[in-house]
Structures are given as C-alpha cells and as structure tokens.
Copies of this chain bind each other. A is one copy, B any other.
Amino acid sequence: MEKNIAVIWGDCSSPEIVKQTLRVLDKVAEKYGHTFHYTDAAMGGEAIDKYGDPLPQHELDKCLAADSVLLGAVGGPKWEGLPGEQRPEKGLLRLRAGMGLYSNNRPARIWPQLAPASPLKPEIVAKGIDFIIVRELIGGVYFGKHETYTLENGEKQAVDSMPYSEHEIERIGRIGFETAMKRRRKLCCVDKANVLDTSRLWRAVMHRLQAEYPEVEYSEMFVDNCAMQVVKDPSQFDVIVTENMFGDIISDEASMITGSIGMIPSSSLGDGTRGLYEPIHGSAPDIAGKDIVNPTACILSAAMMLRYSFGMTEEADAVENAVNKVLDKGLRTADNMSEGCTCLGCTAMGDAILAEI
C-alpha cells in the first residue's frame, strides 16, 4: 500500500521521538512492501515561529490532504507568555476541530515489565490495569464560548460555556459501546449528572444507546468518584466514556498509575479513517537535545495509526511486539530505568526497537 502521512515534528524534545518513529515506519514499509510518503506540517511552537500562528490554514490543509497525521508533542517555555489565541495548544485544539476528530482513545495499560514503576501498591497493580478512556475531543467547555468582560461595577467577569448537543454525545457514546464490545464489554459513563445539564443529556443519550448494546454491562459514575476509583481499584474499569474536560483529567490520572507515561500512545479519530496519532506525554523541554527522551509512546502511536487508519494489523502487531521484546531484554530509557536494566538514549532505543521488527 501507498500512504501519505503528514508529520508534525513538534517542539522541544519532540523532533527526537518523531525521528525514531519515522525510522520504525520506514522499516515496516520495507519489510511489508508499503510506501509511506511524509509531508512535514508545522503546528504549535514551530508554526508560531515560522508563521506567527500556531496552525495556519495551509498547514491544516496538509493534514487534511494526508491519509493520517503523526504528531510528537507541542509547546514549551518559549511560547508560554503568549496570549491565548497564539499559544501552541491553540494549534492542537484547532487541528482536532479542523480534522473533525471527536473521539480520543487513550489506553491505560500496565506493561508487566514496568509494573514496579507504578505509584500504586503491588497488590492493586496485581489485580490488573487495562482500560481505555474514550474522550470526546471537540465539544464541551473546550469549544464553547469563552468571554471576559467588565461588569457595571467595574470588575471583570469571565464565563466559559460547556455545550453538548445530542448528536455529539451519540457519536462518541457509540464509540464507547463499540470499543467495549471489542473488549470485556463493560462501559462506564463518567459525568457530573448531579450538577450539570450537559451530563444529564449525556445520560439520556447513553440510555438510548444502551438499548442497542444489551451485551454491554453499562454503568455511570460521578467524575469525583471516578478520580478516587482510578487510584483505589483500576481493575474495575474496561472502557470509560466521558466528555472532553473530564476525559482530560481522568486520562492523565490513569496514565500516571501505569507508571510509564513515556509509553502511552493515543489516537484521535472522526468519521473516516484519517486520524491524529500522538503520545499522551508533553514536549519535555527540560531534556530537549540530549537524546534521552523516550521515543516509545510516539512509536506506539504510529503502530495505532497502522492499525486504525491503514488497517495494517500485522504491521501494528510487529511494532508492538518489538517494543515488548525490547522491554523483555531489560532495555529502558532514563524515565523508566530500574535496577538491573540497561539505560538507552532515544536513538539507541529506536535502534533496539528497529532491530526487533
């Protein structure tokens, strides 16, 4: 197959992980007889520096013209003082919206080799951590109106609004149920229905969908309770479906309990097969240029792209198995080091994974 991949190199230490990921993709192409064409697209800090805009239309157009998009991570201290509209994150939000990527899929899974790195007690980890957070990505308070104005008494007031309409909930709710059907058939809707109208509308829509998926054991949980349960007993979860902001918070908490955020990929998809694939970690400015950042989450994001955008199951398995073998051999990057293991830099970790494909 021939595929066009838009590549957003990202900021700070991100280009280092993207570089290793493209090497892996090239190896896959060579081994399985595919051709991947890469088109660089600028977003985030790089785009601000080049164009004074975190995502100019011509760069978004490159992403829309591709079969899929690979992203490292954007942002860094250099761009932190900028006003809201000009910040790197704004480019990411506009990319998600511009590509129509309403479904963000974030796995929280423990790699057995890295289990000792979890901040949770071994007894809790031993019960298993393997769930997925399906986060709505282009609605809610992220994309509602944001207003700041001056009241009559002279003080400022800001108002953010959190809108959700039925079709937005239904399409992500369906992904939640479908994801559960492919797994252990448990779906938990996380919300704050005792306070929010949007949450009550979520529940109404979810109840309609539930009727279509009688095999799925469906439950509901308040977000505050969920923040507790993720720490107390993560083994209870299979698939969580939730709105944008709650998904942001809970998925980050969930990634931390795995003890290895340098290993967690994510996919964002819309109605078609064109997706955006990125690690859940940030651009790690503090270690940029040192060749020590962990490229694995980005490489595993590319594996998700092979699987979900290109239907290349065998190829995706090959990459994931390669990562597994590397871990089995005791090879680690600095963020994951533990006694008896060998510490590799970013390039050397890329080499090690390549060698197993």
Interface residues of A (CB under 8 A from B): 84, 87, 89, 93, 118-122, 124, 141-142, 144, 146-148, 151, 155-167, 192, 194-198, 200-201, 204, 223-225, 227-228, 230-232, 245-246, 248-253, 255-257, 261
Does A197 contact B160, Cβ atoms closer than 8 Å?
yes
Q: Contacts of A257 on B, CB cut-off 8 Å?
A: 231
- Given the known inter-chain contacts A163-B157, A232-B256, A253-B253, please indicate yes or no for A142 contacting B224, CB distance below 8 A: no
Does A119 contact B231, Cβ atoms closer than 8 Å?
yes
Q: CA A160 – CA B250 in complex, angstroms?
A: 20
A216 to chain B, nearest CB (A): 21
Q: CA A264 – CA B252 in complex, angstroms?
A: 25
Does A228 contact B253, Cβ atoms closer than 8 Å?
yes
Does A159 contact B197, Cβ atoms closer than 8 Å?
yes
Does A162 contact B160, Cβ atoms closer than 8 Å?
yes
Q: CA A84 – CA B196 in complex, angstroms?
A: 9
Top 10 nearest A-B pairs (CB, nearest first) are: A157-B165, A227-B253, A146-B197, A228-B256, A158-B197, A224-B252, A158-B201, A155-B166, A159-B163, A158-B198
Chain A binding surface, main DSSP class? helix
Does B160 contact A161, Cβ atoms closer than 8 Å?
yes
Query: Which of A151, A164, A251 has the most chain B CB atoms closer than 10 A to its own CB?
Result: A164
Q: CA A87 – CA B252 in complex, angstroms?
A: 31
Does A151 contact B124, Cβ atoms closer than 8 Å?
no
Query: Which of A87, A93, A227, A257 has the most chain B CB atoms closer than 10 A to its own CB?
Result: A227
A155: nearest chain-B partner, CB-CB: B166
Query: Which of A119, A246, A261 has the most chain B CB atoms closer than 10 A to its own CB?
Result: A119
- Given the known inter-chain contacts A120-B119, A197-B146, please indicate yes or no for A161 contacting B164, CB distance below 8 A: no
Does B197 contact A147, Cβ atoms closer than 8 Å?
yes
Does B87 contact A194, Cβ atoms closer than 8 Å?
yes
Q: Contacts of A228 on B, CB cut-off 8 Å?
A: 252-253, 255-256, 261
A316 to chain B, nearest CB (A): 27
Q: Contacts of A141 on B, CB cut-off 8 Å?
A: 162, 195-196
Does B252 contact A225, Cβ atoms closer than 8 Å?
yes
Q: Contacts of A147 on B, CB cut-off 8 Å?
A: 197
Q: Contacts of A159 on B, CB cut-off 8 Å?
A: 144, 161-164, 197-198
